[in-house]
Amino acid sequence: MESVGTSEGVPTDDDEAIARSLAGDLTAYEALVARYSVLAHRTAAMLGAGDEAEDVVQEAFVKAYRHLASFRRDAPFRPWLLRIVANETHNLTRSRGRRAELAVKLTGLVPAGADGAGDPGDPENAAVATDRRTRLLDAVRRLPERERHTVVCRYFLQLSEAETAQVLDLPLGTVKSRTSRGLARLREEVDRDLT
Amino acid sequence: MTSPDEPGDTGSRPPSGEPESRPSSDELESRLLALGDSVEVPCPPPADVARAVRARLEALPARSPQEEAPGADPAGPARRSRRPRALLPAPPGRARPAASRRRRAAAAVVVVLTALFFGATPAGRAAVVQILRLAGVELRIGDPGPLPSGMPAPLPGEERTTLEEARERAAFPIAVPAELGEPGDVRVGDGGRVVSLLWPGVRLDQYDGTLEVVYRKDLGPPWPEEADVDGSQGTWIPAHHGLSYLPREGGAPVAARIAGPTLVWQRRLVGLRLEGVTDRARAVQIARSLR
């Protein structure tokens, strides 16, 4: 691994925080934790940590710090961290012997026009939009776990295919095929709803 | 964001010829993206998580990340020091000047973040009265000095495009204010992180990620005011102020330019800034008309 001074390219602020953390500067690491905390919680909850997401996230950040030296500094930090979060979540659900449920709920907010339900200011349209979203979320919940995880990473966490592959520790081709199988299944369910 | 492969896609409905509609595979994908934005996950305040993690790390026997940590010096910077100086060590002597400048700029971001999360330092207070962060914008309120001058610099990789193409390239849903109608000009910058819609004299920037600082504004009186946009807390900045853009990849901020009165708010996970509307009520009205 390259040392700080010889690494090429523009150092990111993550990079700087990691460099300081590697030198034992916990204040710099706190900044890194704060920056990724919300994303880490979303990842843990969406991959099945349920109400133990907070514990999972803390554990993941502690592990990430302890293994920071193995982080390749020319790689992005985000998927590296989220893979640790995903691993911790996986360990938790396995140890609990339970299915990795999608532990999220809808907000009361109706995204304007985002799901094609017309003017959200109209209460009737808003109700339709909420209903459509609830049914789509239920359909995502019913996906087989492997497909659900790739769909959640790609669309709910908005990770790229490459990031999803890294986070879920899967080959890129598997991410592609599971995502398209999941989408096909969702499309069938959505079609059934409409008929 | 690239679209996942769609082998065997039969489509839930045939693509129509209307310019507004998109192929069905994209429609499902955009519905999923919107759904992801509207699901709620309980998260404790990030600063609390950071403190809890720190406390756990301090309780560990070995505090340094790993023995083979490159360049780690056990007798290095004081771990507990919160003075900015301690966070801004001289860059390694072998670093090239440009790299060292960039590194300093990146370090400055860390200092700012640290100051934000753990209280501004006394040195910081001398220059900046208050730092507020919301919706990906950092407001440094105090005595900003003279306003920046010169030509506005484009964002990294900024390109003119169409609304349709911007929607393909941005990793977040793009909204258009009904009050203003179709934008006259659309630009995508910094690898799809920022999408700017322009009308004569008015600019609406939408940007990905409200968790990191995307823009920095240096301003003095008159002070910013709270503004409610559909239940989300926004900020109305009535005065002209300096505006800098902080590239996603880090490095030096894009040269500051002067910005007019601006409304800053957040819509789910997308940050927005509406610039060029001088009346606050009108700005809020436009913000509320996003579709």
pLDDT tens column, A37-72: 999 999 999 998 888 899 999 999 999 998 888 888
Chain A hits for B50, CB-CB cut-off 8 Å, are: 30-31, 33-34, 37
- Say whether B291 and A112 touch across the interface (CB within 8 A): yes
Q: Which of A1, A6, A30 minimises the CB distance to B117?
A: A30
Taking the CA of residue B222 and the nearest CA in chain A, the distance in Å comes to: 30
Domain-located, residue B115: no
- The total of structural domains in chain A comes to 2
Taking the CA of residue B44 and the nearest CA in chain A, the distance in Å comes to: 8
Residues A91 and A161 in one domain: no
Domain-located, residue B25: no
- C-alpha span between A29 and A65 (Å, rounded): 8
- The residue from A59, A78, A96 where one domain ends is A96
Residues A21 and A88 in one domain: yes
Domain-located, residue B107: no
Domain-located, residue A2: no
- CA A158 from centroid of its chain's CA atoms: 7
B253 pLDDT tier (thresholds 50, 70, 90)? confident
CATH number, residue A45: 1.10.1740.10
Domain-located, residue A125: no
Residue pair B170/B208 in contact (Cβ under 8 Å)? The answer is yes
Q: Which of B82, B173, B231 minimises the CB distance to A27?
A: B82
Taking the CA of residue B55 and the nearest CA in chain A, the distance in Å comes to: 10
Q: What is the pLDDT of residue B277?
A: 87
User: Which residues constitute the domain of residue B193?
Assistant: 127-288
Q: Which of B31, B92, B249 minimises the CB distance to A10?
A: B249
- C-alpha span between B81 and B45 (Å, rounded): 23
- C-alpha span between A11 and A19 (Å, rounded): 10
User: Which residues constitute the domain of residue A15?
Assistant: 9-96
Q: Which residue of B lies nearest to A48 if distances are taken between CA atoms?
A: B41
Taking the CA of residue A148 and the nearest CA in chain B, the distance in Å comes to: 12
Q: Which residue of A lies nearest to B178 if distances are taken between CA atoms?
A: A119
CB within 8 Å of A138: residues ≥ 6 apart? none
Residues A14 and A88 in one domain: yes
Residues A16 and A85 in one domain: yes
Examine the pLDDT at A80 and tell me if it is beyond 70.
Answer: yes
Closest of B212, B115, B105, B107 to residue A37, by C-alpha: B212
pLDDT in tens, B259-274: 778 999 888 888 899 9
- The residue from A34, A67, A96 where one domain ends is A96
Q: Which residue of A lies nearest to B104 if distances are taken between CA atoms?
A: A16
Residue pair B85/A17 in contact (Cβ under 8 Å)? The answer is no
Q: Residue type at B277? A: V
Residues A23 and A91 in one domain: yes
- Say whether A137 and B39 touch across the interface (CB within 8 A): yes
Residues A78 and A21 in one domain: yes
- The total of structural domains in chain B comes to 1
Q: Please, what's the b/e burial string for A91-117 (b: 16 or more CB within 10 A of its CB; e: otherwise)? A: ebbeeeeeebbbbbeeeebbbbbbbeb
With 0.90 as the threshold, say if the pTM is over it. Answer: no
Q: What is the interface pTM, i.e. ipTM, of the complex?
A: 0.83
Domain-located, residue A82: yes
Residue B140: beta bridge partners? B131, B218
For tokens 């919300």, name the residue. Answer: A38
CB within 8 Å of B279: residues ≥ 6 apart? none
Structure tokens at A148: 């659900």
Structure tokens at B2: 């690239």
Residue pair B233/B134 in contact (Cβ under 8 Å)? The answer is yes
A109 or A156, which is more confident: A156
Domain-located, residue A132: no
Residue pair A183/B25 in contact (Cβ under 8 Å)? The answer is yes
pLDDT in tens, A110-147: 554 444 445 556 677 777 878 888 889 999 999 999 99
Residues A84 and A156 in one domain: no
CATH number, residue A181: 1.10.10.10
Q: What is the pLDDT of residue B176?
A: 93
Q: Which residue of A lies nearest to B86 if distances are taken between CA atoms?
A: A25
Residue pair A177/A119 in contact (Cβ under 8 Å)? The answer is no
Query: Per-residue pLDDT averaged across A101-118, rounded?
Result: 58
Domain-located, residue B27: no
